[in-house]
Structure 1
Amino acid sequence: MRRTVVNRVLLGAVGAVLLGVGVLVLAGGLDLYRRLGVHPPDRWPFTSPDQPVVSAGSRQRWVASAWWWPTVIGGLTLLVAGMVWLLVAQLRRTGLSSIAVPTPGASGLRLRVGARALEEALENRTVVLPEVERAGVRLVRAPRHPRLRGAVRLRPGGDPAALVEHFEDGPRAEACGSLRLAELPADLRIRVLQAAPAEPRHGRRRGRRRRRPARVE
């Protein structure tokens, strides 16, 4: 799963939880249940402006337990740590959303190509190379030029040197020509699958049953 998908799922889940809590608090604070004549179920949270977030009975019942404060502090610590990790992951994002294409013959024209479209094109061109079983390509940031990071899985007996040559002359050269880039560095991580071991022959040959000679009386 790509990191962008994970980020969207996490942000969507956190946003849905916060939105639900906010709607409940807003409905209780504005006393919408009484005004609209709605009768919420028993133990429904935040039903009136005078209702606290945690009732007095719950506070007295749980605070007396020894595990209450460690659990609250630990849970809040994990929540804050998770939010900080998500923020740092967003700030350290290395992927590109698009890449600029030079247009020397047209002044004032800016042309950009979506990074995902370019990645899919490179993956489709790489997966059809000889001995390639699976390929994944990402376009990442670099100090001077965009950079490709690829992960290729070869079939058993595949030649990594031949794959590098085919990749250089094929997908990478075509990408440089299409985007009019003088240079497009690439890092390839190649994995060669091992041939499956021969399955042992199960069972033994059953010996022929010796027939007893017929008795002649």
Structure 2
Amino acid sequence: MKVSYHGHSVVKVETANHTILFDPFISGNEACDLDANTIKADVILLTHAHNDHVGDTFEIAKRNDALVVAPNELANYLSSKGLNAHPMHIGGSREFDFGKVKFSQAFHGSSYTEEDGNVVYGGMPAGILLTVEGKTIYHVGDTALFTDLKMYGEMNDIDVAFIPIGDNFTMGPEDALVAADWINAKIVVPVHYNTFPVIEQDPDDFVSKVRTGEGKALKIGEGIEL
């Protein structure tokens, strides 16, 4: 299995039988190396409804007939637009043919802005624990630091954690280091930084300070074999 990073919060998981995308913000994301018009995906996992996370979900899901798994209100909205969306909620888990998905807490906002400026409430934001082929990947989502991250670390044997470091909209590097201690993943990868000037950070400096697990600042398109 290969897990790769593609800028902002975009993560791709390639298993023996499925390609899974987290938060596919591709078009309009200069840091992303993927092509929304050609990328193949069987599953899209969404942490919340903000446009820089829903991204190209509509186009990718329709072209690939992909399943979209998202928080309840967001999933219902996507279903109303013709997508094959499965609703979940924080604390819930489900076994799919591609792996097990569990939604965790995240402290953030969640709304989708349509092209005409209409703002749609997206339900509660979340993190996502994906267990596939015996490995667990934790996409923490957009969040502040909160103590239940320690609980998630204690309850799960996490192989890779994708943790936001951008600050301003999410936790910054100092809080993310605490989160990494609590989550206790084998590998810690920083995400949600340098997409916009307000979230500019030094990922190499962050990973050099990671105290628990191995910090890896993945270059755009770079992956980890699990």
Q: TM-score, normalised by structure 1?
A: 0.25
Report 1 or 2 for greater relative contact order, CA contacts < 8 Å, sequence distance ≥ 6: 2
Q: Which has the higher strand share?
A: 2
Q: Which has the higher helix share?
A: 1
Q: TM-score, normalised by structure 2?
A: 0.24
